[in-house]
């Protein structure tokens, strides 16, 4: 019998279930991702995409199943700054009185001392990260004054500054300009080459085909999972979206 | 202080200072205002105004029971303040009633219990001073308690300043990088209960929520930087307290009400004339304002 070496997997979620006060949001979901893989998370609103992210970040507790990150517990992955979460634009308070620099610096908080005093290395990491997302001209700009695309890049920079090996991105392409979209896709290639693992949710079917090696179709549980070329079929998509034909979805999205 | 000397009424400022109770009131109210103002930034950004109202009203029975048992009133207030929040969380989770409704019914229930207890427990509790505050009649033991609690809250907020900011802004990120969000949640609630306890001496239970939200709201209209917001919030709270106490001294007005009114006027001023977010945007008048 073949023994599985869990260390090979960045993310290994086994039969995870999440319920909110008895209401099941996600059940028996499995996901295994290796370093350098990009996986698309596709499903309807309310299908459990955000719940899946919440489970993987530890923001909600799973009621059943097991999550291993690099072969270790979620708790130690949090301590090691392994996972970075990039929220969708609607998920943050854009009127919060905070600058680009401050947001990106938050990516370093987990590895700082209790007073969160930035060291020279933290400052350098933040500078580099902001440069990579091309926001150097906006260091002290309040996030409320940024465009949707610039704000998205700010949070990507936070994930870069954190030096996480797993990136969870909630709708990374929604509400962004062409320039940001191009920059994000370039970053994806760099992340892949750096061996980072990416899980992204999206409504845009074209982006799945373009970026994702793997795709995870969910509707409360996993409908289909595998190589995008094999799994991302009209039949599977129709099942995922509760009988709505993919023609409608594709036509609607593009 | 020199701000007022142009009124040619030096005595306006100095006369009250000859009274021991006025010196004490000015000092203690400034301290309390500073604590509440500090916390205020977090509460307004977190959207906990209603929570602040709930906690501050819910401490009422705690104050009464503590007085009756001869315990420090802050202890009783703290237990009931945190208890009300726990009860709100429990009822919300176990029923289909919406959160704002649960908050409303829990704190009015606690408040009513406090009023009933006052009428039942025959003691020298002055209902009026609990409800409306009595900064002019603050006792020595109250002074000690207030200083102790204020320092405690300021130290806690100072140590966890950045973590609390992160918690208010993006709790999910905090959790993801291994920061104890559960702890921060209860730390903020604890500080809220403690601030409500010291605040009620200045302006009373009914108005203490103003101390906890108005300075933060004012500061929020004036800046886009979190640190500046905290400083402005604290300063506007202290200035309001001083103005309120002086005005109430000279015109024989209710002190608590005067302090809160001063805060409200400062807010309205910011609302109308804030450089960027005011209705009349005075931006152009501020040379070099960015």
Q: What is the pLDDT of residues B13-25, one digit of tens each?
A: 888 888 888 999 9
Q: Is the pLDDT of residue B226 over 80?
A: yes
Instruction: Give the three-class secondary structure for A231.
Output: helix
pLDDT for position A4: 61
Mutation for testing the B interface, residue in A106, A122, A160 having most B CBs under 10 Å: A106
Q: What is the CA radius of gyration of chain A?
A: 18
Closest CA to A242 of A208, A214, A218, A215: A218
Q: Is the pLDDT of residue B112 over 60?
A: yes
Residue B221 pLDDT class (50, 70, 90 cuts) = very high
The percent of residues above 90 in pLDDT, for chain B, comes to: 60
Cβ of residue B185 closer than 8 Å to a chain A Cβ: no
Average pLDDT value for residue range B72-100:
89
Instruction: Give the three-class secondary structure for A110.
Output: helix
B228 interaction partners in chain A (CB closer than 8 Å): 97
B159 interaction partners in chain A (CB closer than 8 Å): 114-115
Positive/negative CA dihedral, B13, B17, B21, B27: positive
DSSP E strands: which ranges in A49-136? 64-69, 83-86
Considering CB atoms only, which of B165, B176, B220 is closest to A78?
B176
Considering CB atoms only, which of A83, A96, A115 is closest to B169?
A96
Q: What is the DSSP letter of A140?
A: T
CA atoms within 13 A on the CB side of B195: 33
Q: Which residues of chain A have pLDDT under 70?
A: 1-7, 244-254
DSSP E strands: which ranges in chain A? 11-20, 23-33, 38-42, 64-69, 83-86, 166-170, 197-201, 214-219, 221-227
Average pLDDT value for residue range B99-103:
94
Task: Provide the token pair at A194.
Answer: 């750096």
Using one digit for the tens of pLDDT, what is the confidence trace for B133-168?
888 888 888 888 899 999 999 999 999 999 999 999
Residue B33 pLDDT class (50, 70, 90 cuts) = very high
Strand partners, A13: A31, A67
CA dist A142 and A130 (Å) reads 14
Q: With contact defined as beta carbons under 8 Å apart, do B241 and B32 qualify?
A: yes
| CB proximity list for B97: less than 8 A, separation 6 or greater | B91
Cβ <8 Å between B176 and A57: yes
Rounded to a whole number of angstroms, the distance from the CA of A156 to the nearest CA of chain B is: 12
Searching chain A, which residue's CA lies closest to the CA of residue B45? A96
Cβ of residue A11 closer than 8 Å to a chain B Cβ: no
Cβ <8 Å between B170 and A92: yes
Q: Can you tell me the ipTM of this complex? A: 0.92
Average pLDDT value for residue range B89-94:
90
| CB proximity list for B103: less than 8 A, separation 6 or greater | B50, B51, B53, B54, B88
Positive/negative CA dihedral, B281, B284, B289, B290: positive
pLDDT for position A253: 42
pLDDT for position B11: 78
DSSP string, chain B: -GGGGGGS-HHHHHHHHTSHHHHHHHHHHHHHHHHHHHHHHHHHHHT-HHHHHHHHHHHHHHHHHHHHHTS-HHHHHHHHHHHHHHHHHHHHHHSSS-HHHHHHHHHHHHHHHHHHHHHHS-SS--HHHHHH--GGG--HHHHHHHHHHHHHHHHHHHHTHHHHHHHHH-HHHHHHTT--HHHHHHHHHHHHHHHHHHHHHHH-TTTHHHHHHHHHHHHHHH-S-HHHHHHHHHHHHHHHHHHHHHHHHHHT--HHHHHHHHHHHHHHHHHHH-TTTSTT-GGGGSTT--
Cβ of residue B18 closer than 8 Å to a chain A Cβ: no
Task: Provide the token pair at A146.
Answer: 């940024």
CA dist A56 and A162 (Å) reads 17
Q: How many other β-carbons are positioned within 10 Å of the β-carbon of residue B190? A: 17
3-state secondary structure B175-228: HHCCCCHHHHHHHHHHHHHHHHHHHHHHHCCCCHHHHHHHHHHHHHHHCCCHHH
Q: End-to-end CA distance of chain B: give it in Å, rounded.
A: 29
Higher-confidence residue of B7 and B192: namely B192
Q: What angle do CA B250, B38, B84 make, to 5 degrees?
A: 95
pLDDT for position A52: 95
Cβ <8 Å between A109 and B223: no
Residue found under tokens 């408040």: B111
CA atoms within 13 A on the CB side of A66: 8
Closest CA to B150 of B35, B27, B240, B28: B35
Mutation for testing the B interface, residue in A75, A109, A141 having most B CBs under 10 Å: A109
CA atoms within 13 A on the CB side of B241: 33
Average pLDDT value for residue range B246-251:
92
pLDDT for position B9: 62
CA dist A246 and A187 (Å) reads 29
Strand partners, A226: A215
Residue B7 pLDDT class (50, 70, 90 cuts) = low
Closest CA to A133 of A110, A109, A159: A159
Q: With contact defined as beta carbons under 8 Å apart, do B238 and B211 qualify?
A: no
Task: Provide the token pair at B18.
Answer: 């000859």
Mean pLDDT of chain B: 89
Q: Is the pLDDT of residue B289 over 50?
A: no
Task: Work out whether strand A197-201 and strand A214-219 pair parallel, antiparallel, or are unpaired.
Answer: unpaired
Q: How many other β-carbons are positioned within 10 Å of the β-carbon of residue B1? A: 9
| CB proximity list for B241: less than 8 A, separation 6 or greater | B26, B29, B30, B32, B33, B202, B259, B262
């Amino acid at each position: 019998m073949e023994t599985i070496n869990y260390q090979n997997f960045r993310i290994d979620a086994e039969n995870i279930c999440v319920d909110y006060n008895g209401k099941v949001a996600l059940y028996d979901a499995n996901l295994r991702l290796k370093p350098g893989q990009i996986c698309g998370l596709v499903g309807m609103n309310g299908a459990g995409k955000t719940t899946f992210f919440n489970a993987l970040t530890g923001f909600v507790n799973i009621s059943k199943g097991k999550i291993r990150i690099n072969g270790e517990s979620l708790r130690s992955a949090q301590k090691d700054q392994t996972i970075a979460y990039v929220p969708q634009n609607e998920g943050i308070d854009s009127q919060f009185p905070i600058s680009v620099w401050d947001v990106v610096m938050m990516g370093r908080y987990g590895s700082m001392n209790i007073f969160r005093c930035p060291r020279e290395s933290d400052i350098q990491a933040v500078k580099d990260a902001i440069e990579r997302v091309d926001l150097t001209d906006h260091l002290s700009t309040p996030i409320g004054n940024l465009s949707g695309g610039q704000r998205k890049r700010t949070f990507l920079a936070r994930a870069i500054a954190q030096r996480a090996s797993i990136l969870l991105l909630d709708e990374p392409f929604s509400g962004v300009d062409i320039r940001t979209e191009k920059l994000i896709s370039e970053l994806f290639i760099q992340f892949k080459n750096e061996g980072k693992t990416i899980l992204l949710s999206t409504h845009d079917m074209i982006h799945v085909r373009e970026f994702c090696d793997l795709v995870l179709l969910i509707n409360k549980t996993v409908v289909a999972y595998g190589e995008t070329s094999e799994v991302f079929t009209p039949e599977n998509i129709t099942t995922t979206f509760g009988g709505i034909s993919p023609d409608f979805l594709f036509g609607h999205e593009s | 202080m020199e701000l007022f000397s142009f009124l040619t009424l030096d005595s306006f400022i100095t006369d009250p200072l000859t009274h021991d109770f006025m010196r004490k009131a000015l000092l203690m109210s400034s301290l309390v205002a500073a604590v509440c103002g500090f916390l205020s930034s977090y509460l307004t950004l977190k959207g906990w105004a209603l929570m602040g109202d709930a906690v501050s009203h819910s401490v009422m029975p705690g104050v009464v029971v503590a007085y009756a048992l001869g315990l420090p009133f802050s202890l009783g207030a703290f237990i009931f303040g945190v208890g009300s929040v726990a009860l709100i969380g429990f009822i919300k989770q176990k029923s289909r009633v919406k959160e704002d409704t649960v908050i409303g019914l829990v704190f009015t229930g606690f408040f009513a219990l406090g009023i009933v207890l006052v009428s039942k427990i025959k003691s020298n509790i002055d209902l009026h001073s609990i409800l409306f505050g009595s900064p002019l009649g603050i006792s020595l033991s109250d002074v000690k308690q207030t200083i102790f609690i204020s320092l405690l809250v300021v130290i806690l907020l100072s140590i966890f300043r950045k973590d609390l900011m992160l918690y208010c802004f993006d709790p999910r990120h905090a959790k993801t990088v291994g920061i104890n969000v559960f702890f921060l949640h209860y730390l903020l609630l604890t500080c809220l209960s403690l601030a409500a306890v010291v605040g009620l001496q200045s302006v009373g239970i009914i108005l203490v929520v103003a101390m906890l939200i108005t300075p933060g709201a004012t500061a929020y209209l004036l800046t886009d930087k979190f640190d500046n917001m905290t400083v402005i919030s604290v300063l506007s709270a202290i200035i309001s307290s001083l103005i309120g106490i002086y005005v109430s001294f000279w015109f024989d007005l209710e002190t608590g009400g005067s302090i809160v009114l001063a805060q409200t006027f400062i807010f309205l001023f910011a609302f109308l004339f804030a450089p960027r977010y005011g209705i009349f945007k005075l931006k152009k008048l501020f040379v070099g304002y960015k």
